[in-house]
Structure 1
Amino acid sequence: MRDAVGAVGSVLLLGGRSEIGAAVAERLVRGGARRVVLAARGDAGTGEVARRLRAAGADEVRWLEFDAARPDTHAAVVDGAVELLGDLDAVVDAFGVLGDQAAFEDDPAAAAEAAAANYTGHVSAGLAVARRLREQGHGTLVVLSSVAGVRVRRANFVYGSAKAGLDGFAQGLGDALHGTGARVLLVRPGYVPTRMSAHVAPAPFPATAGQVAEAVAEGLRTGAETVWVPRRLRLLFAGMRALPRPLWRRLPR
């Protein structure tokens, strides 16, 4: 449960090795969260995240098996997290893959697998989380989307189209939860340099994982529905949405 001043006490991180997700969890721990569950496929690499969280002040960090490609198991993962944490104050939905557009065009099956990890896995996990949050009458599902889904570019249209679907799903789920005490916080970062994005050319107005984490913490505190990181991207993409398609196609790959 949140404490008397509304601080998050428990965190479930779906995508326990995500650099951005780990930064968000660490920021929430520094803000008062004391119990964290890292949900990931296998526990390799989660030990370092757990050490960071304990160093930041977490009393308890546990691991659960979670496979984005196994939607039939997602409800059980949420149930398992509830057994370990009790009420879920914040669930950070941070799993996914970036991949390479050229490789996807050469391997449609790999493209479909990546699209499933970036969209359909979030649908099953998100609905399972929402059911629990609705039952307990509070809690926030933090969905890490991307500006890549706001208007899909040819340079990464497999990834961008999946993020567009996730973005729409998160908005619809937030509307469905309105009035229940539970809510969705949709996060739209721009380019963030991480291991996953190491092969991608840097984009204008980059953000760090720490900046995303700060934005999430602020969004949770203020009750925001959507945050952009950095904030200036909101105005930039308002203009990009209005670009005629022939001009949009000319953007650098």
Structure 2
Amino acid sequence: MSRVVAVFGGRSEIGHAIATRLAAGNTVALLARPGSLDTEVAACRAAGAQRVIPIEFDADDTDSHDDLVARVEAEAGPIDIAVLAFGILGDQADAERDHRAAVRILHTDFVAQASLLTVLAERMRQRGTGTLVAFSSVAGVRVRRANYVYGSAKAGLDGFASGLADALHSSGVRLVIARPGFVIGRMTEGMEPAPFSSTPDQVADAVVAEIESGKRVELWIPWQLKAMFSVSPFIPRAVWRRMPR
């Protein structure tokens, strides 16, 4: 049965990888900031998508989210799977000196995510079906000095998504909370990989497998991170300092 897959952040490495893995036989809406999506559209078509619909969107324009989702569903049909794969790492040093830089990170990585999740969840709840994917991070599980602005945004998102998942219980709507560790890619270029790092492809494989399984709500990538963080007081200090952003 054909499904409608909407990837918000379709130009991101993880978003793109997830879109191509879910493309076969489905309609894929790729949403990203202004700019060409030709490469991503072609990859989804090559992966077997029935239709690929590129749409520009500004995640930070929360007032537009209702109309944005309505437009996606008008062009593609009711969304079956929505993946929120957008976000910014920001610059910690700038955010410590300039409150506006801190607010930009918090707004994109928490406020905008919560806004869009709320809009999507309500539409899916009314239909009694759907799957949402929110990207938290181990950076939000234990906020560190090295990136506490980004980490606090992810901590807020993790709490919001956990509560929303509970609120959606028995509604027919499922929210998967993905908690990857350090992801080696464009966003972290130039940084030293942390223990238990992963690639965008590995994250996408884990997320898609979770979507198709219909089981858990919380997804740690890789799974070993859950055990490490559950016993974090016993993690050697040298290792803890290099834990994922």
Length-normalised TM-score, structure 2? 0.92
Counterpart in the other structure of 1:125: 116
Q: CA–CA distance in 1 between the matches of 2:49 and 2:219?
A: 26
Q: Deviations over 1:139-174 (max 9, x none)?
A: 101111111111111111000000001111111111
Counterpart in the other structure of 2:6: 12
Task: Number of aligned residue pairs: give it.
Answer: 240
Say whether the 8 Å CA contact 2:195–2:242 is kept in structure 1.
no
1:22 aligns with 2:16: yes
Counterpart in the other structure of 2:227: 235
Counterpart in the other structure of 1:71: 62
Farther off after superposition, 196-205 or 172-181: 196-205
1:108 CA drift (Å): 2.0
Q: Deviations over 1:165-208 (max 9, x none)?
A: 11111111111111111110010111111111113221111111
CA 1:111–1:33: 2 relative to 1, 3 Å: farther
User: What secondary structure, in the 3-state scheme, does the structure 2 residue paired with 1:187 have?
Assistant: strand
User: What secondary structure, in the 3-state scheme, does the structure 1 residue paired with 2:231 have?
Assistant: helix
- Output aligned runs, 1:1-253, within 5 Å: 3=1, 9-29=3-23, 32-42=24-34, 44-223=35-214, 224-240=216-232, 242=233, 251=241
Gaps of 5+ in 1: none
Q: CA–CA distance in 2 between the matches of 1:132 and 1:73?
A: 15
Gaps of 5+ in 2: none
Q: CA–CA distance in 2 between the matches of 1:121 and 1:213?
A: 22
User: What secondary structure, in the 3-state scheme, does the structure 2 residue paired with 1:38 have?
Assistant: strand
Q: CA–CA distance in 2 between the matches of 1:91 and 1:127?
A: 12
1:210 CA drift (Å): 1.1
Which amino acid in 1 is paired with 2:196? F
Length-normalised TM-score, structure 1? 0.89
Between the two proteins, what is the percent identity of the paired residues?
A: 45
Say whether the 8 Å CA contact 1:65–1:77 is kept in structure 2.
no
User: What secondary structure, in the 3-state scheme, does the structure 1 residue paired with 2:5 have?
Assistant: strand
CA-based RMSD of the aligned residues comes to 1.9
1:104 CA drift (Å): 1.6
Say whether the 8 Å CA contact 2:194–2:242 is kept in structure 1.
no
Say whether the 8 Å CA contact 1:11–1:33 is kept in structure 2.
no
1:135 CA drift (Å): 1.5
Q: CA–CA distance in 2 between the matches of 1:217 and 1:70?
A: 28
